[in-house]
Structure 1
Amino acid sequence: MLLLFVPIGITVDLAEKVGKMLENDVPFGEVAYYYLDFTVYFANLLFPLFLFLSVIWFTSKLANNTEIVAFLSSGVSFSRFLRPYIIGATIVASFALFLGMYLAPIASQGFNEFKFKYLRKNRKVQQTRDVYQQINDNDYIYVSNFIPRNKSGQNFTYEHFEGNEMKYKIFASNIRYTEEDSTYQLTNYMKRSFNNSIETVERENRKQLDLPFELEDLTPVQYAAETKSYGDLLKFIAAEKRRGSPNIGRYEVVKLRKWSIPVSIFILTIIAVAVSSVKRRGGMGVNLAVGIAIAMIYVFFDKVFGVMAEQSNFSALVAVWFPNVIFGILAIYLLQNAKR
């Protein structure tokens, strides 16, 4: 299934994007690396569905040749008939777990960097509105609107605390990053300092400051979590929670999917065996049609709930595991029915 669908996916993707690649004079080597990353990236996402269709295809051939009837008529239980599928699913799930934990993040970084470097130059890949970050234990920054292309933002605020007491607060109507000396130029600068009950105010039209944060803190990349191995991802999420990042839901979805995909392999394998182990009048075509319909419903649930968790306060845990719970119940029902 991988050898069947991945080349088709590459062909369709290349046909869609070859114009932009030629327009941007993309080197052939980078295109080759992009499609290597493309293969790993989408294989990781679609691994359970590829396995699902493979099991339906194989089991339907057994059923059409009346081999399953011969197995069961000879006294082999359905559970014993299912055992090789579970062993195979365990091998594939182990590989999918390793792929999601370590290989897929590397491929995701190359895939996304190529896409936004050459194919989506004018698209927003970074959060640029209402950026609020805790950059360390004592400092907070806020900018209402940031333009990555110009490295400038509006309505900038910087707050410094010591314990629970604010020591100073900086305001600026505009902030611009200066690459030459890695400093920030602030327009309509104002600094309010607090020393016990005494407040002092400093104002300047323009002020050049070396502030203790990186440009990436003002423009957090939305796909950052996808590019990290599991250990780095845990550290990254913990740091983003301390900073008050609004993208925590997106990052939690990425983390939980690393575990849910291997589990979904077992669920979809059981469903595939239960659906395709019965010989039907329409043959393999009917089984494949039923399988594809189930697969599309699974993808629909997965995408809808994933987007809800990324774009709102909806629980990432519920969003990621709800499709597996629903289809796990379906798998148990279909398995019991197939045994009968």
Structure 2
Amino acid sequence: MKILDWYILKRYLLTFTMMLLLFIPIGITVDLAEKIGKILSNEAPFGVVANYYLNFTIYFANLLFPLFLFLSVIWFTSKLANNTEIVAFLSSGVSFSRFLRPYIIGASIVSAFALLLGLILAPIASKGFNEFKYEYLSKGKKVQETENIYRQINENDIIYVSRFDALNKTGYNFTLEHFKGNVMEYKIFADNIRYNEEDSTFRLIQYVKRRVGESNDIIEVARRKDTIFDFDLDDLSPVTYMAETLSYNELNDFIEKEKLRGSSNIGRYEVVKYKKWSLPVSVFILTIIAVAVSSIKRRGGMGVNLAFGISIAMIFVFFDKVFGVMAEQSDFPPLVAVWLPNVVFGILAIYLLYNAKR
């Protein structure tokens, strides 16, 4: 690599790192100011709070990664343009494509970091972040309450609860249907079902078991019954952030398992899966757009470039969120929802790059 490459690459990586170091403390400060009352009232230990904000840092960085990158490239490239350094580079015989090369090298490094973040670090951080939020920031609220859970847990058994409160580990209007082939062998009813952590059993209140016979049904009734089932607590309490806490291989296995169970959250889980790969690609797209926009010296200076760049970044984030929600809450294909913003902005990047070269 030549002096030009090292000069731009160092500015690329240093500015991006400084952008993270500037914005993450601001995010922590705002979050702490908002939640300090609940943290103190719920007596969260200092070590747990410190671990929460370590996880928050990784979670926050992963969430706003494209925005930080885009603004940092806009910032230092605009400074190069305002100092007429880009004009000097191009006047010396360096083509615009050659000028772009250190940016692509920098984008490759950041993209590898984004991949590491999405596949390994972010799932671990997301688990700690969400567990702290539900344990210490949501006490007394039924934030983990889910309704109308209907799941096939294996080839023979189907369960249903009208409502499940994960804070109390209790489900209401529980039903289990056991089939052999297409024939129902028995059906279990209970007013509520509660998980016992001490012995990993389930306690059923107002228990009724109806075994289907050839001529007469056999009915078993009990006011209370402790038993073991071929499912666990996660089958009754499918928290929405589950997919975010799994590594890529675990996530693939989890999605396949949920498909067999007929889960209604497959779209949400697949959005998380595809974003692990789309984010590193968006690093290259946003880098090219940022260079194309900010490499021209404008009359308004850096302010114009920053305003234009922030507008594009906000539109990108808006498209990403809107299509993600569509895939989670409708039949819109998750693969299309995740990659469509990259396709649209990739076309925009090619157009802006072509005009910048001219």
TM norm structure 2: 0.89
Question: Which amino acid in structure 1 is aligned with residue 321 of structure 2?
Answer: K
Contact 1:267 1:331 in 2 (8 A): yes
Task: Indicate whether 1:50 and 2:68 are aligned.
Answer: yes
Name which of 157, 174, 180 aligns with 2:175.
157
Q: In the TM superposition, what are the counterparts of 1:162-173 in structure 2 within 5 Å?
A: 162-173=180-191
Name which of 278, 302, 312 aligns with 1:294.
312
Distance 1:219 1:335 in 2: 49
**Comparing 65-74 with 230-239, which one deviates more in the overlay?**
65-74
Contact 1:172 1:188 in 2 (8 A): yes
Distance 1:46 1:326 in 2: 19
Name which of 87, 90, 113 aligns with 1:72.
90
Contact 1:153 1:176 in 2 (8 A): yes
Distance 1:335 1:302 in 2: 22
Distance 2:167 2:69 in 1: 42
How many positions carry a matched residue from both structures? 339
3-state SS in 2 of match to 1:113:
helix
Q: Deviations over 1:67-112 (max 9, x none)?
A: 1122222222111111110111011001110111011111111111
Distance 1:188 1:28 in 2: 43
Contact 1:127 1:222 in 2 (8 A): no
Distance 1:78 1:98 in 2: 31
Q: Which runs of 5+ in 2 are unaligned?
A: 1-18
**Corresponding position of 1:200:** 217
TM norm structure 1: 0.94
Distance 1:317 1:276 in 2: 31
Name which of 75, 92, 102 aligns with 2:120.
102
1:104–1:181 Cα change, 3 Å: closer
Task: Indicate whether 1:250 and 2:265 are aligned.
Answer: no
**Corresponding position of 1:112:** 130
RMSD: 1.8
Contact 1:247 1:310 in 2 (8 A): yes
Question: Which amino acid in structure 1 is aligned with residue 301 of structure 2?
Answer: G
The alpha carbon displacement at 1:121 in A equals 2.0
Contact 1:125 1:221 in 2 (8 A): no
Distance 1:122 1:270 in 2: 48
Identity across matched positions, percent: 73
1:323–1:173 Cα change, 3 Å: same
3-state SS in 1 of match to 2:217:
strand
Q: Deviations over 1:136-188 (max 9, x none)?
A: 22211111112223333222211112333332222233333344554334344
The alpha carbon displacement at 1:190 in A equals 3.3
3-state SS in 2 of match to 1:128:
strand
**Comparing 70-79 with 166-175, which one deviates more in the overlay?**
166-175
Q: Which runs of 5+ in 1 are unaligned?
A: none
**Corresponding position of 1:29:** 47
